[in-house]
Amino acid sequence: CGLDNILIVDKMRENGKEKNIERKKFIDLIDKQEFINKVRSKPSYYQDIRTIFHIGACSSTLNLDEEYLKKNNTDYSIELAKWCIERDTRYIYASSGATYGDGGQGFIDNINELENLKPLNPYGQSKHDFDLWVKENKLFDRLLGIKFFNVFGPNEYHKGDMRSVIHKAFPGVRDEGVMKLFKSYKEGYKDGEQKRDFIYIKDALEVMMFFLERKDIGGLFNLGRGQAETWNAVAEAMFKALDKPVNIEYIDMPDELRPRYQYLTEADMSKLQNSGYDKGFTSLEESIKDYVVNYLNKDNPYY
């Protein structure tokens, strides 16, 4: 099917999320609960669906409601996966770099090592639990999971505290010429030197389209740039994009976040490369420049 032949399943309830789809072509929009209810009552419902990208979840790393996260993130994913398997519908879902926890076991997307991972927060655990369910049921040859690392870019504006730091910090950099970053509370990491594997949303979408076309591929894949970079580097790129001098203020990290904070994420990208994907990724500096100049600094920042 064409990319305009899309059914959107979501909960468009607040924060201007509907603006994300104003410029998009799709055949229908249905509430996530209504959709799963129809799946339950009519297994043949939407019989023409060929592929499901299950990307939605509660992604708050500060949400400690394990029961809610299990129901919303894990159980919903399981129910939808079973429906797809029964109908032989392709199922591509979002896992998360948060499943790797503090990185003590590395960041290699090896399904044989899944049991060794220890997420630092209930969100990461809810995604990890679904990965484990897929493995326990021997379904990785039929399903495809994507461990997204730090994705940023246009159309994240509804996400509240889970927006990227780039979007959160933009008004301060533009209007006040200052960017606030968390202090470090771990030996070996100076303030602002905590590292993340950042990937631009446009690059992430290229990989997702690659998986859509390659129906022979299943398994679990990391999706980052494969290169950890510091928050200071993010700040420097933002100031450069706005032609302003670098001015970083280091602030206290909330107490509730400190024990759950990842100081390093860096995806091993060899599995994706070995699968045949060869487009590469945009540099952090160029990605931030595109986001800031062509979206955040425009009257209409939506993609």
For the segment 265-297, what is each residue's pLDDT rounded down to a tens digit? 999 999 999 999 999 999 999 999 999 999 999
pLDDT attached to residue 1: 45
Residue 265: phi and psi, rounded to 5, are -135, 135
Between helix 32-41 and helix 76-87 the angle, nearest 10°, is 50
Q: How far apart are CA 8 and CA 27, in angstroms?
A: 8
Question: Residue 1: CA atoms inside 13 Å, Cβ hemisphere, count?
Answer: 13
pLDDT tens figures, 5-61: 899 999 876 667 889 998 888 999 999 999 999 888 877 778 889 999 999 898 888
CA 228 to chain centre: 16
> Is it the case that residue 160 has pLDDT exceeding 70?
yes
Of residues 254 and 46, more confidently modeled: 254
Q: How far apart are CA 181 and CA 173, in angstroms?
A: 12
Q: Select which of 123, 200, 291, 295 is catalytic.
A: 123
Helix, strand, coil percent values for the chain (each to nearest 5): 40, 15, 45
Task: Please say if 159 is a catalytic residue.
Answer: yes
Task: Please say if 261 is a catalytic residue.
Answer: no
Work out the average pLDDT over 146-173: 95
Q: How far apart are CA 272 and CA 108, in angstroms?
A: 11
pLDDT tens figures, 93-146: 999 999 999 999 999 999 999 999 999 999 999 999 999 999 999 999 999 999
pLDDT attached to residue 14: 64
pLDDT band at 3 (very low <50, low <70, confident <90, very high): low
Q: How far apart are CA 189 and CA 218, in angstroms?
A: 37
Output the pTM of the full model: 0.94
Residues 6+ positions from 248 with CB-CB distance below 8 Å: 178, 179, 180, 181, 192, 232, 235
Q: Select which of 159, 180, 271, 289 is catalytic.
A: 159
Q: How far apart are CA 118 and CA 40, in angstroms?
A: 32
